[in-house]
Amino acid sequence: MKFLRLATAIFGCSFTMLALADTQSPSTPNNVSATSLSSNSIRVAWNAPWDDVGVHGYNVYRDGGYYDTVFSTNYVDESVNSGSSHRYEIVAFDRAQNFSIRSNAASATTSANGSITGAITPQSNGTPATPSNLQVNALNGNRLQLQWSQADNAVGYNIYRDGNYHSTVRNSTSFEDAVDFGRDYRYSLVSFNNQEQYSARSGEAVGNTSGSSNANSAQVLNDANNNSNNNNNSGYVPDGYNLVFNEEFRNYSLDTSKWNSSYRWGPDLIINSESQYYVDVINRPDFGHSPFEFDGEHVTITAIRTPDYLRDSARQQNYLSGTLATHNKFNLRYGYIEMRAKLPRGRGLWPAFWLLHSQDHDRRPEIDIMEMLGHEPNKVYHTFHRFENGNLRSTPSFTAYGPDYSADFHTYSVRWEPGLIVWYIDGEERNRYQDGNVSWEDMYILVNLAVGGWWAGEPDGSTPLPARFTIDYIRAYQR
């Protein structure tokens, strides 16, 4: 169904916006501090402000411009140069997208001589080893204890929680963390020495104080010796295919060498009567909102109601969302393409993973690897479109029934060969199309979260917002 995006473009569709009961903005974050952790990283921390229903997240501003969005009260900026100074400010927001006043600024200067802020005195020779044997145990209902083996040549450890920098310990191989009851927390470690040399990040361990299966015997998720992402093979890839593109989303910002954050025709063309505006954060970093959340393991595309102060910038569209596309970055002709993701549930939500023609000539093909309508979370669609003699031709939208695809991660993939398209879910063939009309043109990868439109319908009071489309990885293989 996605192809009609290009066939029926409609500008500036107008819909009635739901009234929000929550109009209270969070208070201004205070006690903002910035500390140099190394010659190429700065940690920013602040106190959680007050909000009548609770703060949801924070927009980080660097040197006066929007820089990133986080969901904890600290942030590590790892995109700084040795000997550079940067100024940081924080804006808090709640789930209704009420925004606080921007905080006072805090500044830090990274070291130019390789010294670690607050480093201890013992000398260390050699690059520190990656921490190992990380375990997380519940001490009580709101406290977890981390323990690990001493890493060779290490004098301290940076602790990451849920993908973000959390704390630093020195001369110790244990750490106690205050947490909420009943929630999973993911931890990993990086060791360092006095010469400001850092190890690779350790395998990840999960802890939970509720007594769940993860609580008392932590599950190591990303150990270097046991991680399918290291060989970039989900186990579903057909024999004879080699990796040619992969995005594991292990960073905290978009990799602009791989991605665009808009469609090839730009963000201002509204199509399919959809109600979202795709925020082009790469070309408009000062837009005032980013639809992309990063936790060091995944990227999440979020959809929110458009705040009043951004409606003009969003062409009066009722929602803000995001798209990623590899046009002008990566194209392929034939191959096996897959994504592991957790889809959003809710009326009016329309997540999609697809391939689109790179040039506007010939048959202009499109392969929809996965589309779902949020009010039918147990069904995804597979479709192939192309033009013939100027007329749109499409297969039926083949369906693939299954579990609730919004409840967990699943792998969605397609095998595209001359004359053949085969769609898979979790490695199981679900649909196929075999015909001489199968596309033979170069295509590129897209993933997006649409809201509204002629096919999905409009969100209603049951639609959870912000809506989240969480992606673990996207990979492509060819023979």
Sequence-distant (6+) residues with CB within 8 A of 214 are 184, 206, 207, 208
Residues with Cβ within 8 Å of residue 180, at least 6 apart in sequence: 142
Angular region, 240: left φ>0, alpha ψ -120 to 50, beta rest: left
H-helix or E-strand spanning residue 176: strand 174-178
DSSP type of residue 5: H
The three-state secondary structure class of 308 is helix
3-state class (DSSP) for residue 4: helix
Q: Catalytic site residue 429?
A: no
State the Cα–Cα distance between residues 474 and 301, nearest whole angstrom.
14
Contact (Cβ atoms closer than 8 angstroms) between residue 86 and residue 77: yes
Helices then strands, each counted (H, E), the chain = 1, 31
Answer whether 370's CB lies under 8 Å from 397's CB. no
Any residues with CB less than 8 A from the CB of 171 and at least 6 apart, and which? 120, 122, 155, 156
Structure tokens at 3: 């192809």
Could you tell me how far CA 99 lies from the centroid of its own chain? Answer: 22
Distance CA(88)–CA(41), nearest Å, equals 13
Burial 296-308 (b: 16+ CB within 10 A, else e): bbbbbbbbbbbbe
CA 432 to CA 400: how far, in whole Å? 11
Whose structure tokens read 């709640």?
94
Burial of 74 (0-12, 13-18, 19+ CB in 10 A): middle
6 three-state secondary structure: helix
Catalytic residue among 204, 247, 293, 371: 371
371 annotated active-site = yes
Cis peptide before 403 (omega within 30 of 0): no
Write down the catalytic residue from 247, 297, 338, 366. 366
Look at the alpha carbons of 349, 354, 359, 363 in this order and tell me if their dihedral is positive or negative.
Answer: negative
Sorted by sequence, the CB contacts under 8 Å of residue 468 that are 6+ apart come out as 293, 300, 301, 302, 342, 344
Active site residues: 366, 371
